């Protein structure tokens, strides 16, 4: 059985589950399942985003390497079939894949965390997960492999390695343990707040419990310190547009505090519209 993933469409989403909206990256504007599936695995040029954070994902599935002198943190292994693509991107940037010590994911859907078991086999890294997403992760068994979980963290816990500290924030709704990570980096003599956002896209049917989770999560996301917004899909933070500007030599376009809550605004509007269409409760 395929795992639940953001490729599952819903009335609140466009093709392949991407939010319907104007201004998405050109690669995401094309319709057709084949194109989407190809781009889920098509390598993107790896690049430094900001500070010690590097993009090592595919064209449409972000994966981030946070490089430290004591080894690296990998955020989102994506699909298992992308493990070699991510390994090559890490290597092309001059790092060793075997130096990945910690594997994190934004949420327990296959397009973000299916590769955890294989990447752990390849690197020996520890897989750490938010408690509320552990049951869904345990059900994710590509090729029958058990999903490794070496450490369970909770809302507000920190994950530290080699001078970098991430704070794990529970921003539930899309999954029960959807996790937004925040950290700080140094760039150009400044300390910048970076947010690795978790999807805020609501399901087509919203239970009262999930509605309450989203209400908390929208508030929480807006309260987090943020100069650089990243996320588990590039469209959440206009990745391709910003990467193009970066390649043109513009001042780092990823440093963009004004854009930090745009995704929450889009998704909260869709959440409210979806909620308004729910059948009345008995």
Structure tokens that stand for 109 in this block: 């859907």
Among the candidate windows 21-29, 46-54, 104-112, 153-161, which touches Zn ion by CB under 5 A? 104-112
Which C-beta is closer to Zn ion: that of 6 or that of 114? 6
Could you tell me the smallest distance in angstroms from the CB atom of residue 175 to Zn ion? 7
Task: Please provide residue 222's backbone torsions phi and psi, each rounded to the nearest 5 degrees.
Answer: -70, -20
Structure tokens that stand for 29 in this block: 């504007």
Could you tell me the smallest distance in angstroms from the CB atom of residue 167 to Zn ion? 21
Residues contacting Zn ion: total by CB under 5 A: 3
116 binds Zn ion (CB under 5 A): no
Structure tokens that stand for 245 in this block: 């500007």
Dist. CA 98–CA 56, nearest whole Å: 15
120 binds Zn ion (CB under 5 A): no
H helical segments located in 30-108:
33-41, 83-92
Nearest residue to 200 (alpha-carbon basis) of 165, 229, 241, 159: 229
Q: Break the chain down into helix, strand, coil percent, rounded to 5.
A: 35, 25, 40
Which C-beta is closer to Zn ion: that of 95 or that of 181? 181
Which C-beta is closer to Zn ion: that of 87 or that of 114? 114
Structure tokens that stand for 37 in this block: 């599936």
Fill in the per-residue mask, 180 to 209: x = in contact with Zn ion (CB under 5 A), - = not in contact: -------------------x----------
114 binds Zn ion (CB under 5 A): no
Which C-beta is closer to Zn ion: that of 109 or that of 242? 109
109 binds Zn ion (CB under 5 A): yes
Among the candidate windows 5-13, 41-49, 124-132, 182-190, which touches Zn ion by CB under 5 A? 5-13
- The residues in 14-53 that bind Zn ion, with binding defined as CB under 5 A, are none
Contact criterion met (CB below 8 Å) for 118 and 103: no
- The residues in 247-276 that bind Zn ion, with binding defined as CB under 5 A, are none
Residue partners of 88: CB distance under 8 A and separation at least 6: 43
Task: Give the interface with Zn ion as residue ranges (CB under 5 A).
Answer: 6, 109, 199
């Amino acid at each position: 059985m395929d795992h639940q993933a953001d490729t599952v469409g819903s009335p609140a989403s466009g093709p392949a589950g991407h939010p319907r909206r104007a201004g998405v990256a050109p690669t995401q504007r094309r319709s057709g399942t084949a194109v989407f599936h190809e781009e889920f695995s098509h390598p993107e040029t790896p690049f430094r985003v900001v500070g010690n954070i590097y993009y090592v994902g595919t064209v449409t599935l972000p994966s981030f390497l946070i490089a430290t002198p004591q080894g690296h943190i990998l955020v989102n292994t994506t699909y298992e079939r992308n493990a070699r693509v991510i390994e090559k991107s890490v290597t092309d940037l001059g790092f060793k894949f075997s130096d990945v010590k910690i594997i994190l994911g934004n949420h327990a859907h296959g397009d973000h965390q299916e590769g955890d078991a294989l990447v752990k086999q390849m690197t020996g890294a520890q897989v750490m997960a938010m408690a509320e997403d552990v049951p869904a992760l345990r059900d994710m068994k590509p090729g029958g492999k058990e999903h490794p979980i070496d450490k369970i963290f909770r809302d507000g816990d920190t994950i530290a390695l080699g001078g970098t500290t991430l704070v794990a924030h529970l921003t539930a709704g899309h999954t029960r343990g959807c996790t937004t990570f925040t950290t700080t980096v140094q760039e150009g003599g400044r300390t910048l707040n970076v947010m690795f956002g978790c999807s805020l896209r609501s399901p087509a049917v919203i239970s009262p419990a999930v509605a309450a989770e989203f209400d908390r999560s929208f508030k929480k996301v807006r309260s987090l310190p943020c100069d650089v917004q990243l996320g588990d899909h590039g469209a959440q933070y206009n990745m391709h547009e910003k990467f193009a500007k970066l390649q043109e030599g513009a001042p780092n376009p990823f440093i963009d505090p004004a854009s930090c809550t745009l995704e929450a605004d889009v998704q909260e509007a869709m959440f409210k519209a979806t909620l308004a269409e729910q059948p009345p409760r008995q």
